[in-house]
A and B are shown apart, each in its own frame.
Chain A
Amino acid sequence: MTNPVQAPALVELKAVNKHYGALHVLQDINLQVKKGEVVVVIGPSGSGKSTLCRTINRLETIDDGSITIEGKELPKEGKDLATLRADVGMVFQSFNLFAHKTILENVTLGPIKVKGVSKADADKQALALLERVGVGHQSAKLPAQLSGGQQQRVAIARALAMKPKVMLFDEPTSALDPEMINEVLDVMVELAKEGMTMVVVTHEMGFARKAGDRVVFMADGQIVEEATPDEFFTNPQSARAKDFLSKILAN
């Protein structure tokens, strides 16, 4: 890089705090995600990792601190917030495909309504995306007619249709039957290879090793450890991480 000033992180969280009543669910969180980076957030349940992920497109509000995307503070509400969310793709644990719309409509809705793309162009793009995630022939069906793995791949296509700058994955394989996990992970690995900036909350250590640039380990609302996947899995520093890894690697 010729520019001596470091480029701002694509996503940056500074001193973020959040409480649910008495529970301090995010404690002084600082995190930077650079363009093209794949950050995998792992940790025991209740550690705040999903909440962290959801604050990045403000599905969860924060009490204090700041979250910026491309250097711009997240808008509080209204049209500005909607505009920002269009640039931040999100994939949920429970897929959340629009139950009353066909697979194709699920993918074209955002481009047509939010970006003003014509229906013909949106359809074309959506079919190509559905093809890419391997559900091209299902486009006329309703979400309930698809398997969980297929639904989640459609959800990824729906998010990609907005051409997001960053994709958030909130435990994307946790609600899937074991035999369907890989079909979703394969799509995600593919995305990572293509240079998509991703924040992935997951229990899939295999994915973290294969596609992650950095592992962020959270426990009790704090970021306890940050390292490359290799470092983290072979030589965890904190006792909390060692304990966590010993439990999951035992099975």
Chain B
Amino acid sequence: MNVITDNSDLFVTGFKNTGILFVISAFFALILGTIVAGMRVSPAPAMRAAGTLYVNAVRNTPLTLILAFFALGYPRLGLPHIDFMNAAIVGLSLYTATYVSEAIRSGINTVSVGQSEAARAIGLPFMQTLTLIVLPQAFRSVLPPLFSVFIALLKNTTVAAGFSVAEAGAIRANLSERGEPLLPGLLWVAVIFVVLVLGILTPLQRYLEKKWRVER
């Protein structure tokens, strides 16, 4: 117990940064992932190709490499400077968006084709068919896989520790520097992650599933 009380500063900063990384990355990943999923079912071949290329390129690259690129490679390109925290947000968002996109695309495929035919038949163009009819129904059926993606994102934020972002994954290294025992520190980090998932994400998923349940 002493480990966490004696080093509460470390834990608080660590999990605060984890929270920031998670919330902002989840937000952008959800938006970007939805757009990419829309592109992949678009009637325009160029949009479909661009969406597919993005998903295949980024999803098949290890997250460590993506973060390494933004932390170490990007600064050498002579582009505007971004700090490690923002670089981690960009990397995590781009990476997670590919998984979000695939989850939503599988949801789009569960919406019967008759729904979009009916929408087109009353004169709705593609974008409105997608945003008014197909996506609202697709989201309902993809909440479980979508939340798996976000739980993975929460844990993936620890990879950013390797690139000088002082989030929860970095607590261990800092504890060792202070000469604290390693195992209890690690256990505490693990426990807090479990609490975050079970205490926040899972109830949120349950709430949304209930709220958006639709009779078919």
Contact B43 A77 (CB under 8 A): yes
Contact B120 A82 (CB under 8 A): yes
Whether, in the assembled complex, A92 has its beta carbon less than 8 Å from a beta carbon of chain B, the answer is yes
Contact B216 A85 (CB under 8 A): no
Contact A96 B115 (CB under 8 A): yes
Contact B122 A142 (CB under 8 A): no
Whether, in the assembled complex, B201 has its beta carbon less than 8 Å from a beta carbon of chain A, the answer is no
A/B pair count, beta carbons within 8 Å: 74
| A-side interface size class | 20 to 34
Contact A162 B122 (CB under 8 A): yes
Mark A135-166 against chain B: 1 for CB-CB distance below 8 A, else 0. 00000001011000000000100110010000
Chain B residues with CB below 8 A from A82, complex form:
120, 123-125
Q: How far is the CB of A84 from chain B (nearest CB, A)?
A: 8
Q: Which of A73-98 contact B (CB under 8 A)?
A: 77-79, 82-90, 92, 94, 96-98
Contact B120 A96 (CB under 8 A): no
Instruction: Contacts A96-B114, A100-B214, A142-B214 given; indicate if A114 touches B122 (C-beta within 8 A).
Output: yes
Mark B124-145 against chain A: 1 for CB-CB distance below 8 A, else 0. 1100100011001100100000
A87 to B57: give the CA distance in the assembly, Å. 43
Whether, in the assembled complex, B119 has its beta carbon less than 8 Å from a beta carbon of chain A, the answer is yes
Contact of A144 among B117, B124, B132, B215 (CB under 8 A): B215
Mark B102-121 against chain A: 1 for CB-CB distance below 8 A, else 0. 00000000001011011111
Contact B121 A98 (CB under 8 A): no
Instruction: Contacts A99-B115, A99-B216, A145-B215 given; indicate if A79 touches B125 (C-beta within 8 A).
Output: yes
Chain A residues with CB below 8 A from B216, complex form:
99, 144
A83 to B214: give the CA distance in the assembly, Å. 30
Instruction: Contacts A77-B43, A109-B132, A142-B215 given; indicate if A96 touches B125 (C-beta within 8 A).
Output: no
Contact of B137 among A79, A89, A100, A114 (CB under 8 A): A100
Whether, in the assembled complex, A113 has its beta carbon less than 8 Å from a beta carbon of chain B, the answer is yes
Nearest B residue to A78 by beta-carbon distance?
Answer: B125
Whether, in the assembled complex, A110 has its beta carbon less than 8 Å from a beta carbon of chain B, the answer is yes
Contact A90 B121 (CB under 8 A): yes
Contact A57 B122 (CB under 8 A): no
Whether, in the assembled complex, A248 has its beta carbon less than 8 Å from a beta carbon of chain B, the answer is no
Instruction: Contacts A57-B121, A100-B214 given; indicate if A113 touches B128 (C-beta within 8 A).
Output: yes
Mark A57-72 against chain B: 1 for CB-CB distance below 8 A, else 0. 1010000000000000
Q: How far is the CB of B42 from chain A (nearest CB, A)?
A: 12
Mark B14-29 against chain A: 1 for CB-CB distance below 8 A, else 0. 0000000000000000
Contact B122 A85 (CB under 8 A): yes
Chain B residues with CB below 8 A from A57, complex form:
121
Chain A residues with CB below 8 A from B114, complex form:
92, 94, 96
Instruction: Contacts A98-B133, A144-B215 given; indicate if A92 touches B117 (C-beta within 8 A).
Output: yes
Contact of B122 among A86, A99, A100, A144 (CB under 8 A): A86
